[in-house]
Structure 1
């Protein structure tokens, strides 16, 4: 008898060299000015082809809403789960707000992902909660040649990672890690 396939959970994100996802005001201006080749190493299109469900925290969701007013939801093909205790405007039928620890939502997430994986968009606290619950397999980080000095951390908590692969995509140094 074969066991069911394991759902792959991947935290795919960008970070400054000093380990921040966003500045103290939740701005990603540092990221949006960096050159990247969309068809270069570790393209988002490859990740999306393997993603059946997306998870993000409340701050990330609010950032997407604030920075894409009037535009369609950027992830209409995947079910998106927003981890929050707050109520949010549901801008697309594929969005579901959930609360609690990742493990408490595992069945829901994996059912939505089907035969594909789960993209942990962010933030760092949510990614660490997935890792703590044994639900984070890999982390792919594109490091930009920028430092902020403060802001939203790449990852909360103490974890060990194994470097699996590296690449350069224009300004970014990319590392793929096993958790």
Structure 2
């Protein structure tokens, strides 16, 4: 059965990117072990969901290369974004029902594998509110940002499943508690 998992990196003070959507702060720490865990997770994902800012960051860092994931990917956006070679689909989900329908399509496409929510925090909070998010996995970087894009943009109750160290990162896996 597919799980929907928000797997991302965060600063110690709970931001996934700076106010200008930079992730450069993330690469100043020893994260090879954490990166290996993320790569293992990615191999088991059957569908990917991300927001426009995450998609644009990936494009900036990949240059003219094809989409780096060989997994069907949905980008939530209302903007006209550059298209790349690969299975990337653009969608808007303005209502709860549209988000439920999009999620159902991703779960069907994942075919028993995980749905990976890359970012952002608003999408994660909306999925949790609708009872569609199963787990949150965070690699906590040894840095604070003070402001930026929040890890979760809303209340989400969690139960810890695992905590361990990976290089300079503290990695935590949580189950989303259904209210």
Calculate the TM-score normalised by the size of structure 1.
0.90
Please state which structure has a larger fraction of its residues in helix: 2
Equivalent residue for 2:30? 35
Deviations 1:84-108 (A, max 9, x none): 1112222023000011142131221
Residue number among 142, 147, 171 corresponding to 1:150 in the alignment: 147
Alpha-carbon shift at residue 41 of structure 1 (Å) = 8.8
Equivalent residue for 2:78? 85
Q: Report the secondary structure of 2:56's partner residue.
A: helix
Q: Report the secondary structure of 1:43's partner residue.
A: helix
Deviations 1:34-88 (A, max 9, x none): 11234x697122212220000000111111112221223110x210000111122
Aligned counterparts of 1:133 and 1:120: Cα–Cα separation in 2: 15
Alignment of 1:98-137 (within 5 A): 98-100=91-93, 101-137=98-134
Aligned counterparts of 2:163 and 2:174: Cα–Cα separation in 1: 9
Equivalent residue for 1:54? 48
Aligned counterparts of 1:93 and 1:170: Cα–Cα separation in 2: 32
Structure 1: gaps of 5 or more residues: none
Equivalent residue for 1:45? 39
Residue number among 68, 73, 86 corresponding to 2:67 in the alignment: 73
Does structure 2 retain, via aligned residues, the 8 Å contact 1:10–1:119?
yes
Give the aligned length.
172
Does structure 2 retain, via aligned residues, the 8 Å contact 1:52–1:117?
yes
Alpha-carbon shift at residue 111 of structure 1 (Å) = 2.0
